[in-house]
Amino acid sequence: MFLLPLAYLPSVRYFACLMQGGCVVDLGEHFIKRSERNRARILTADGTMELTVHVAHANRPRQPVRDVRLDYSKRWQHQHWGALVASYKGSPYFDFYADRLAPFYERRFDFLADFNLGLLECLCGAARIPMPAVSETYVEARPGDCDLRPKNAEGPAFAAEPYVQVFADRQPFVPNLSFADLLFAEGPESSSVLGRCLSAR
């Protein structure tokens, strides 16, 4: 079983794990600042950019991820959507998926978990990958489980399969960005790229 953290616009590697099945997203683990729980990496004309979802009381110790509330004191939704549009409007499949993603940057969600899981369901649906199970309480890792929740968890070997990224004419390939980068580039073929990542391990 793969034990996964809640993640914002999860990475290609995260989705490669989802493709293998047997995944659980743990909402009972403690929130870890400066991690994929509220950060994602995308590609811009100037290189990679980190998008950070603003959360309230991020310094509160031992706060379960399920209880983390979003902070709208700054216009991060507007900034994130603007960055996605500016970066990916020239990609082959952006227009095809933009209408599915845009509502997440227009309405307000109370909790980080609701926002992230809604986006995850949207991305899984677009790629035809089953949603993982979700646990509201902390899941103890058992022998044989692959626990990717620690901030610097190694997890299984991951061989990034190169694909044509939006700025390929001026930048080298950047592996393991947000899955949105792969989806906008490859559309329905995204799952095939993930399959090649797995077979190359």
Of the candidates 194, 159, 161, the one whose C-alpha atom is nearest the C-alpha of residue 17 is: 194
pLDDT, residue 155, reads 65
- Report the chain (201 residues): mean pLDDT per 10 consecutive residues: 95 93 95 94 96 92 94 97 97 97 98 98 96 96 90 70 94 96 97 81 49
* Strands ordered across the beta sheet of 23-26: 133-135, 23-26, 2-5, 146-147
pLDDT, residue 159, reads 83
**What are the domain boundaries of the chain?**
2-199
